[in-house]
Amino acid sequence: MKIFVDTANLQDIEEALRRGFVEGVTTNPSLLAKEPKSNFEKHIGKIVDLIKEHRDGAHLSVEVFSSEPKEILKQAKKFKKIFNYSALSIKIQVGWDELEAIHMLSKEGISVNCTACMSVMQGIMASRAGARYISFFWGRIRDGASDVKFLAQRNECLKKQVLNDEDFNPYLVVNRARRMLNQDNLGTEIIAGSIRGVTDIRDAGLAGAHIVTVPPKFFKDMVSHFKTEEVVQQFLSDFKKWLR
């Protein structure tokens, strides 16, 4: 399981890259909107510079900000040209029209990260269309079972057998998608995002996600344990006593 950092904050990206455990960076329009207003291209350019300085060749996903197929293609090609970074993937949301854009870009050799996947079939269709990565939203898949705003839509999907109750278990969704990718020898990698806690990161890896993209706020919790702190303090204390 590879770990990506899921943020557009330059300081958080640099701190993670400097520690060597991060193998990529993912961004999206909502993450960028949390940062001070600036020029989009310049901000992404700064992220590229940080990656080149600290871990050249690490992955970077940058998302289009349109749902219109022609504009998606235009933005994707523009991003690829202006950022001029070999390990760049263009994030495109999953959808019927978007599949055509993914297919066209993949034929041109542009790496696509198909994002906002919630079901196994979404991921497999994106993979078949040519996506290099498929991003499943772990927390939001789980939310689908209980979100009252979408009760009618959920019931309709269950009635039409588009989904069943197991399709709101992110572990099963990711695991089944991984099994189908493996059995058909597809080269697409699964990214698990929408992470809500450290246990989600562990479980996503065990489910078969190739990559988990993690908000920076979880990194210190991932590397911390109260028993580790106890034993380190004991070692230091014992050694100080021995020196006396």
pLDDT of res. 155: 95
Residue 42 CB neighbours (<10 A): 8
What lies within 8 Å, CB to CB, of 217 at 6+ separation is none
d(CA 147, CA 12): 31
Cite the active site residues.
Answer: 91
d(CA 126, CA 220): 34
Q: In degrees rounded to 5, what are phi and psi of residue 195?
A: -85, 135
Q: How is residue 49 written in tokens? A: 């510079």
Chosen CATH of 2-243 out of 3.40.50.970, 3.20.20.70, 3.30.450.20, 3.40.50.300: 3.20.20.70
Domain ranges in the chain are 2-243
Decide if pLDDT at 125 tops 90. yes
The b/e string for 20-41 (b: 16+ C-beta within 10 A; e otherwise) is: eebbbbbbbeeebeeeeeeeee
Note if the pTM is more than 0.85: yes
pLDDT of res. 229: 94
Q: What SS3 string covers 3-31? A: EEEECCCHHHHHHHHHCCCEEEEECCHHH
> Model confidence over 135-190: pLDDT tens digits?
999 999 999 999 999 999 999 999 999 999 999 999 999 999 999 999 999 999 99
SS3 percent helix, strand, coil of the chain, rounded to 5, is 55, 15, 25
pLDDT of res. 235: 94
Decide if pLDDT at 244 tops 90. no
